Chains A and B, each alone.
Chain A
Amino acid sequence: MTEKPDLRAAILAAAKKEPSATRAEVSAHVRLVLTVAAIGLAVAFFVLGGVTLGDRPASFVVHVALVWSIVAAASALLLLRRGATGLGAPTATLLGVAMAVAPLLGASYLGLHVSEAAGIGHDHVGALSHPMCFIMTLVFTIAPFAVFAALRRGVDPVHPAATGAIAGAASAAVGGVAITLHCPISSDLHVLLGHALPAVVMLLVGFALGPRIFGVRAAP
């Protein structure tokens, strides 16, 4: 099937008229976003109080942060890995992993709490502590989500909602690491509601925003 010569000319002219970033320009932009995000996350973390152990053993905090970092890294890797076709993992895999992030965070915390810090964290926790930590965790997710958006903006024609979902969940896992280091409360309920639950919220937010951020769209 052959197309009209004027169609070719029209498409080439339209592309010429519309500026688009080259790979070097995108790399520079991503580096800038990464730097700003890292600084922003660090500033937010230290402004909010930095590392606070409370009555938690240091090894316990390190282990929780390490396991949650592994969850964050694994989900981010799946998000960024494109494979031979350049189109990424199947939709079901992305959604499955995104949905597994919050349960993994929660289950790993409960397991480590029982094995390494049994007997602590059972004191009464103020009712406002849960929403406070919940909001702080969400604040910590902004920077990593911005980095993922800068890396994959407008290039996913297959499953942008699933990409958004896993970007949200991975960002929440990064936020979870930060809040784990910062929040001294080790109550199981508090960690589940204030530290792990944001992964579910971010999954939904990412799923909803994914097509706009990561998706390919027709010209208006």
Chain B
Amino acid sequence: MASFTLQFGGAAPSMVARVARVARVGMSGMLGPCRIGPAPGHGMTAWLMADASASSKDSTALRLREAMERYAQGEDAAFAELYDLLSPRLLAFLTRMTRDRVTAEDLMQQTFLNMHRARGRFAVGAEVTPWAFAIARRLFLDSTRRGKREVLERGERGGDEDDERSIFDLVEAAGATAEELVDAKSLAIVIEGALSELPEQQREAFALIKQEGLSVAEAAGILGTSVGAVKLRAHRAYESLRTALGKKGRAPS
């Protein structure tokens, strides 16, 4: 079976990031190594961003807890620190959910305002990230229920165009051949298609664990279910993706 590595230099835009993240699943996830694109030594700059180290994650979580604790106790300045630590991940998460930058920013604003309103009731010593993600998810679900689908659909079309431009620009900038470019693009489409066909529960579990980098326990808390159920959903999602990639000759090597 062919071994591929999708490699780019510089920051990865959304589509490329998604491809990369799905690719990383194979390396750090349940099924062992998986690389996308031509094998190493085929002319593209080394890529595949490494997962944030465990110590870095712990350090961020600790800073978040400390900032939230100070904010809950009344230190207003800590809110800016919370914002700076959380907003990139929240915005990425919401943009992925809504596929519309404007809606994502609106929901992120509401998420932070909800955290602000509830600061005095935040449990001492609790993790901030799962709580923030759970609020963001709840607001997203509420907004879709309120009939904002048309906005999302408009955004989805726009997002695809952006993604297409980004991936072409990036691959071009990295000196990729046309063949590599088409290869990366078609793989991204396969992954996106497979993800969109997953049941909602599986997609959410997969997104929280594999794309957002949350722990299984955190994802379980956000989804209001047990750790075992989340593991099962993520595993099934991964199996579905693997099958979809396998059909296209892209199965993890």
Contact = CB atoms under 8 A, between A and B. Distances in A.
Chain B contact residues: helix, strand, loop or mixed: helix
Interface stretch (B20-28, B84-92, B175-183, B237-245): B84-92
Given A8-B83, A85-B131, A216 B114 contact: yes
A159 interface: yes
A3 B108 contact: yes
Contact of A22 (B92, B119, B139): B119
Interface size bucket, A side? 35 or more
Contact of A155 (B122, B124, B226): B122
Given A12-B83, A86-B127, A216-B138, A158 B74 contact: no
Interface in B110-169: 110, 112-114, 116-124, 126-128, 130-131, 134-135, 137-139, 142-143
Interface residues of B, number: 52
A127 interface: no
Interface stretch (B33-41, B186-194, B214-222): B214-222
A27 to B, nearest CB: 8
Interface string A1-39: 111100110111011101011111111000000000000
Interface in A37-95: 82-88, 90-93
A85 B225 contact: no
A10 B116 contact: no
A25 B95 CA distance: 35
Interface of A: 1-4, 7-8, 10-12, 14-16, 18, 20-27, 82-88, 90-93, 151-155, 157-159, 162, 215-219
